[in-house]
Amino acid sequence: MPDGSQPAYEIALAHFIVSDDVERSRRFYTEVLGGKTLRSGEPAYVALANSWIIINVGGGPTDDKPAVTLEAPHDPDVASSFLNIRVSDIHAVYAEWSARGAEFLTPPKQHETEIRGSGRATLPWAVLPGAVRVLPGSSRR
């Protein structure tokens, strides 16, 4: 899947993100996190590690979700989901992504079973053994 090809298995998970600025969000996932754009526009598709990130604007109900409205996060300090990105060297990722413009909430912190850091960028995100969490928010980039 990282090369953008069809998955060789029957189930693949993709994280769908609602954004008020799809292009800016796509650039975050490609330029900061190193993903590959598979499709620009609305929706945008980014291959990142072994998954896809789908980014689109919000909107009202549709025929396949008749009672659901999608909207971008409004409060950067309230999250209902986030990406949990496992990395082999959280300190290296922290330095590299910070240099690319990622905004971490804290530097990597040692916890009982792992080192964690959480960040905020164009969209939700974070890093864990390291781990990184991408949390909803907005970038000043």
Domains in the chain with CATH codes = 14-135 (3.10.180.10)
pLDDT band at 128 (very low <50, low <70, confident <90, very high): very low
Q: Which whole number is the average pLDDT over 90-104?
A: 86
Q: Which whole number is the average pLDDT over 105-118?
A: 82
Q: Which whole number is the average pLDDT over 42-51?
A: 94
Asked if the model's pLDDT at residue 103 lies above 90, the reply is: no
Q: Which whole number is the average pLDDT over 15-28?
A: 90
pLDDT band at 69 (very low <50, low <70, confident <90, very high): very high
Q: CA torsion 97→98→104→109, rounded to 10°?
A: 80
CA distances, 18 to each of 8, 23, 26, 104, 130 (Å): 27, 12, 11, 21, 26
d(CA 34, CA 27): 9
pLDDT band at 34 (very low <50, low <70, confident <90, very high): very high
ω before 2 within 30° of 0 (cis)?
no
- Taking the complete model, does pTM exceed 0.85, yes or no? no
Q: Picking from 12-16, 25-29, 113-117, which range would have the lowest pLDDT averaged per residue?
A: 113-117
pLDDT band at 44 (very low <50, low <70, confident <90, very high): very high
Q: Which amino acid is at 5?
A: S
**From the DSSP assignment, how many helices (H) and strands (E) are in the chain?**
2, 10
